[in-house]
């Protein structure tokens, strides 16, 4: 039996700001339970809903010296959906309305978390063979294992995997600060280790010191070895390319299932979508005050509203797009410039545009189920889960060919009658608009072909089955 410990900053259903939480909360369920004992450590945020917090059991606590002070480290635990979770408790660090505060404070919070997460392992008597770290918040863990925690018998020989969900976020501040927060000696602050263009970089530590590095699609694994996508770490990514695996994400097929989803108006399958999917659209038009029209093409967006997701392209052609026979339904939060942009168009085209500037799980399911198409023109996209959810609900993705979008959406070919969506290559607003208009044309003029695209999309399998096998393969060679 191999023991694996996931360590991360977010995890569904406890706390989520994006796809990282979906992955950490679903992947562990899909390992072969006979061969792998996978447990998960996350912080015990006070923002975790009371329904879950009340189910946590207090295990024990101790004091850990961090940054010159003895700090409380409580250990809460819980079995949920067949997985054992440990929650690192420290109210000073993990209170507040969400998992993240400002960047400067987050650096200290997660530097503390890295040390605390490693420190609880002997206390709960769980000695993993492999620690699987996720994103910059856990970047110090592979470094600590070679340093502070290298001495004792307990930690000797533990292997590490560092998974990059988004290379853009690296946990960077000046060397002095990162050195103080990480409690690492001068030795580590050279350009081949944690120093990065004169700054200290926590993710870089993880990438340099982990035994294997993975990222969440094959295309992104290639892209981050180039200057355009490499976020100034492309040289390091090339240097580590021998231990760099791209493994595409899956989604939880139990949670995202149009045949059983309790959050949607009308459930449907690949055999009944032709009749039943539209009932969701009609219900959503009513709920959002959009014009009643079962025949109009409804385009959905569920996203963090940031530059990564290509919203400047959408902004550029919004008036042109809204002059077409389409309705646009947007759910998201993020940068004020995009929140306000969508509020404006919601006001300007009240009948056809609806913008919900909030985070709402139930509404996201309704959008995946109701829309005809889903727009995701990302500038870069390590994997992307929203397009997988759309495929699952027969909502045809329109995407830019980058990262995981390229690996998961097969562009429609009208001659060979293949494909599960629409895509364009260049980061160009009118190239995107042209692709949306091509999709409109198929939707309105070739209904049979459109429905075949929907059918192929729904028949695709992006459950974790195949990808969990690849992670197992990786764990097995370590």
Residues that bind ligand GLC (CB under 6 A): 18-20, 23, 165-166, 216, 249, 381-385, 404
Q: Does 421 bind ligand ADP (CB under 6 A)?
A: no
Listing DSSP states for 180-229 in one string gives HHHT--GGG-STTTTEETTEEEHHHHHHHH-SEEEES-HHHHHHTTSTTT
CB-CB neighbours of 272 under 10 Å: 13
Q: Which is nearer to ligand GLC, 19 or 74 (CB)?
A: 19
CB-CB neighbours of 362 under 10 Å: 11
We find the least distance from the C-beta atom of residue 369 to ligand ADP, in angstroms, to be 12
Q: Does 22 bind ligand ADP (CB under 6 A)?
A: yes
3-state secondary structure of 476: helix
We find the least distance from the C-beta atom of residue 22 to ligand ADP, in angstroms, to be 5
Interaction mask 287-316, ligand ADP, x per CB under 6 A: ---------------xxx------------
Q: Which does 303 bind (CB under 5 to 8 A by kind): ligand GLC, ligand ADP, none?
A: ligand ADP
Q: Where are the alpha helices (DSSP H) in 291-377?
A: 311-322, 336-348, 361-370
We find the least distance from the C-beta atom of residue 360 to ligand ADP, in angstroms, to be 5
Q: Which does 332 bind (CB under 5 to 8 A by kind): ligand ADP, ligand GLC, none?
A: ligand ADP
- Of 104-112, 116-124, 140-148, 359-367, the window that binds ligand ADP (rule: CB under 6 A) is 359-367
Q: Which is nearer to ligand ADP, 142 or 384 (CB)?
A: 384
**Residues 385 to 404 in contact with ligand ADP, rule: CB under 6 A:** 385-386, 389
Residue of 32, 361, 414, 447 interacting with ligand ADP (CB under 6 A): 361
We find the least distance from the C-beta atom of residue 214 to ligand GLC, in angstroms, to be 10
Task: From residue 70, give the alpha-carbon distance in Å to each of 63, 112, 149, 199, 439.
Answer: 6, 12, 18, 28, 60
We find the least distance from the C-beta atom of residue 381 to ligand ADP, in angstroms, to be 7
The residue behind tokens 């309105």 is: 444
Distance CA(244)–CA(219), nearest Å, equals 12
We find the least distance from the C-beta atom of residue 402 to ligand ADP, in angstroms, to be 12
Tokens of 10: 């977010």
We find the least distance from the C-beta atom of residue 249 to ligand GLC, in angstroms, to be 5
CB-CB neighbours of 470 under 10 Å: 14
H, E, C per residue of 34-84 = CCEEEEEEEECCCCCCHHHHCCCEEEEEEEEEECCEEEEEEEEEEEECCEE
Q: Which is nearer to ligand GLC, 12 or 78 (CB)?
A: 12
**Binding residues for ligand ADP (CB under 6 A):** 18-20, 22, 302-304, 331-333, 359-361, 364, 383-386, 389
């Amino acid at each position: 039996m191999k023991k694996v410990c996931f360590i991360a900053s977010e995890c569904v259903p406890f706390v989520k700001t994006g796809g990282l939480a979906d992955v950490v909360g679903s992947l562990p369920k899909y390992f072969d339970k006979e061969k792998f004992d996978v447990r998960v450590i996350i912080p015990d945020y006070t923002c975790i809903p009371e329904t879950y917090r009340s189910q946590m059991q207090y295990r024990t606590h101790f004091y850990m010296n961090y940054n010159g002070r003895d700090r409380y480290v409580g250990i809460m635990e819980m079995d949920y959906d067949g997985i054992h979770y440990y929650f690192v408790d420290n109210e000073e660090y993990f209170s507040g309305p969400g998992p993240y505060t400002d960047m400067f404070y987050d650096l200290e919070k997660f530097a503390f978390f890295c040390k605390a997460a490693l420190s609880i392992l002997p206390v709960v008597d769980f000695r993993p063979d492999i620690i699987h770290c996720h994103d910059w918040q856990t970047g110090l863990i592979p470094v600590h294992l070679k340093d502070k925690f290298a001495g004792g018998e307990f930690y000797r020989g533990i292997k590490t995997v560092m998974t990059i969900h988004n290379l853009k976020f690296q946990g960077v501040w000046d060397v002095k600060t990162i050195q103080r927060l990480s409690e690492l000696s001068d030795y580590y602050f050279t350009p081949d280790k944690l120093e990065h263009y004169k700054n200290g970089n926590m993710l870089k530590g993880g990438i340099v010191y982990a035994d294997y590095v993975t990222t969440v699609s094959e295309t992104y694994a290639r892209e981050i070895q180039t200057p355009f996508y490499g976020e100034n770490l492309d040289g390091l990514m090339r240097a580590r390319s021998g231990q760099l695996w791209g493994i595409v994400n899956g989604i939880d097929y139990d949670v995202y299932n149009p045949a059983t989803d309790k959050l949607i108006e009308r459930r449907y399958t690949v055999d009944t979508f032709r009749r039943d999917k539209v009932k969701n659209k009609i219900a959503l038009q009513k709920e959002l005050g959009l014009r009643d029209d079962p025949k109009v093409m409804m385009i959905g967006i569920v996203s963090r509203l940031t530059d990564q997701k290509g919203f400047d392209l959408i902004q550029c052609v919004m008036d042109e797009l809204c002059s077409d026979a389409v309705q646009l339904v947007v759910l998201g939060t993020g940068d004020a410039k995009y929140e306000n942009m969508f509020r404006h168009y919601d006001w300007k085209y009240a009948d056809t545009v609806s913008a919900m500037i909030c985070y709402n799980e139930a509404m996201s399911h309704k959008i995946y189920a109701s829309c005809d198409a889903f727009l995701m023109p990302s500038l870069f996209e390590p994997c992307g889960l929203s397009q997988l959810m759309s495929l699952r609900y027969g909502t045809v993705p329109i995407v830019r060919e980058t990262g995981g979008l390229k690996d998961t959406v097969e562009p429609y070919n009208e001659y060979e009658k293949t494909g599960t969506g629409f895509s364009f290559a260049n980061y160009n607003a009118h190239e995107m608009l042209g692709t949306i208009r091509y999709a409109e044309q198929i939707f309105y003029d070739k209904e049979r072909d459109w429905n075949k695209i929907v059918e192929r999309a729904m028949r695709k399998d992006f459950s974790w089955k195949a990808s969990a096998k690849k992670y197992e393969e990786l764990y097995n060679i370590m």
